[in-house]
Structure 1
Amino acid sequence: MPAGQLPQGDPDARWLAAAMNATFFLLLGSALVRFVQRHGSEVNAPTVVTLAVLLAAVYVIGPGRGIPAIPRDPVRPSVRTLAWLASVVAVWAVLVELAPSFAWVAVPLIYAALRTLPPLAGYALVGVLCLFVIAAQLTLAPRFDLDLVVGPAAVAAFATAVFTYLRRQAARQQDLIDDLLRTRRELAATERRAGTLAERQRLSMEIHDTLAQGLSSQRMLLQAAERTWESEPGGAREHVRTAASIAEHNLAEARRFVHDLAPADLARGGGLAAALRTLAERESRGGPAVRVHIDDHTGDHGAGSALPERVRSALLRIAQGALANVREHAGATTAALTLTVLDDQVVLDVADDGAGFDPEALPTASSAPAGVRGHGVPAFRARVHQLGGTLAIESAPGEGTVLTAAIPLGTR
């Protein structure tokens, strides 16, 4: 790999790599043409041409991994990288010894040394390359010229200073990015904790102001009824009726909490498929045997895990309610839950071999209680319709029942 080859994700890095590679081959090619034109008939000409071709081949092969254009931290080169760099420098040094006109190929090699080696080692290699260039220029000059010493040294020093500055800038920028990402993560965690605490406080206040207060009132009323049961039967019965009314209200509040919170089976993780299996296992203990079948056509082995939370919650609630109806009313011996996940919709089928019934006698969705409470078919319809889906029931007396809930997913 050429010394300028860089990771493919950064357009600027690819541009810099192309520029450095082009500079290397341009300097190498121009030096080779100059040598052939002026010294092509000399005895060592074939050796010089062979070394030039070898230098190009070694440069192209390179190490098998990319190195950042301006690494933020001192790099730790691998043995292969060190061997490649040593080979390039060695071939170039021999080539410069035979033909000093190849000295300026050191310019891209300086860049390769700085970006490949740790700082001190890179500076040392840059100094060695600079000495070779100065010696070659003095060899080609008819007499000693101070510019031939100062010029290459100044170019090398300037290139090294610029590279070092850019490396430190890259390190500072990366540190700022790391700090920003860390701050964002901490802020997100803080917001999640604040939201969790706020929700806990809201629920605790709701429960205290409704369920807890209601239970406390029921206890007091029932205790009063017990005390007056013999002496004042009418008053005791009134206390009991009041307690029953409070209990009914508390039941409505509890159902509201259940509707607003995610199902506990989904909260355990594993997606809808795992929640359905847990539900089936629980229902099979005191009722008909429940089987679960997952049919995933999307290639997602965690079927149901990528579904929207509202869809998962609605389908699990429907499955819970349908199995409750099977257990209480169908007289079935077996039931089956089938979850079919397609690209554009998800379908839940609940089938049983029970007594069946006439679907036409069911109440309509408009008669379902407000808030989608309870396990009845109207509640199922309301849940599905809220998500833009459809509910179908196939049943007949003595032939079992199949309930099908289909919810569209749009573009997955």
Structure 2
Amino acid sequence: MATIKPFKAVRPTRDKVALVSSKSYETYPEDELNSKLAYNPFTFLHVVNPGYKYHKQDITGEQRFKLVHNRYLEFKEDQIFTQEEKPALYVYQKITPTHSFSGIITATSTQDYHDNTIKIHERTLKKRELLFENYLKNTGFNAEPVLLTYPDDTTVNKIIQKYQQKRAEYEFTSTDKNVHLLWIVEDSEDIQVLVSAFEKISTLYIADGHHRTTSSCLLAKNLADENPNHTGKEDYNFFMSYLLSESQLSIYEFNRFIKDLNGLTPDEFLIELDTYFRIEKRGQELYKPKEKHHFSMYLKGEFYALYLRKSAYEFSDELSELDAEILYRTVLKPILGIEDIRNDSKIIYSQDKSDGLELKTKVDSGDFKVSFGMMPTTIDEIKTIVDKGLVMPPKTTYIEPKLRSALTIYEFL
């Protein structure tokens, strides 16, 4: 049973929302980030980059987190942000040049995470968990929702469609040519319909935001331990999320780029690959896999198609059938000597939403010796692995939509 809760969002005024909301600040190239900070006094990037005000970009740790809180208070004092008078849910739609996503922004329960109602598909780093937990404790708000997905539900769809027939509270186009619309669900009957609908949903899956989720849950546990009057209903027991049905997710693959061949020549490397793969040289012909267990490779100026020899590989569980895991078990670890695929500096990852030419251009630049591409993972594969209690390798999925910061803000302290 999934628990959702309406909340009194802090959000930009209608006239400033296009100027305030932003992508995650980590996604901006330095020159673009500096330009937005210099010419847009309303961007939320000023809140999360508080040192800009003092011409100091090297402020880190708890000092930075406290300044983030101060900048946030200034935005509220200047009435850039306002807060709802009563709790609400929010229908949010993002329209890109190729897709449309419609879901519900809500507060979700940290207890659901501990009870395994909210499930993960990748491991988190303890260091990042603790860092972000400290950030949350000092700032006291969520500005970017975690992306959670659930099985398509007719009742939820009807409520979403009902509000999309009305005038949106927000409707604007961002500079990346995406359209954003937000509707406020404050009718008590509609809220109860949605709450009841999610109570019938047994599992929510984290699509994007594992560290934000685990950090919120860690903070909730610590605050509960410090609070002798803890009831479980306090705002810190919830975190902001965007609930999107499974059919709407867009899932892309990550390409793998390797800096060296672990002492092998290209010909020796191909001989090693022959143990597990039938290899076809494609020359300059771009090859992108069309089936599971097929891989593309670019090596020494030429494309190759790799087809797994199933007689030479053991499918022992659901994880072993995942293409990213197959590549690790047959190539990255035994041949290229990459044990820790999360932290080894010899490998980098890049999401593939293009025509696949990145496999060629990064290797031709001389920075890498070989690159690999594969089919995207499906939502059914993700759910199967998660439901078996298994964890996917890092950088297996690149999932959209990517969400903006500060459209709605959830205060929990």
Give the TM-score category using the shorter length: under 0.3
For the pair shown, the structure with the greater C-alpha radius of gyration is: 1
* TM-score with structure 1 setting the length: 0.18
Higher fraction of helix: 1
Higher fraction of strand: 2
Larger RCO (alpha carbons 8 Å, 6+ apart): 2
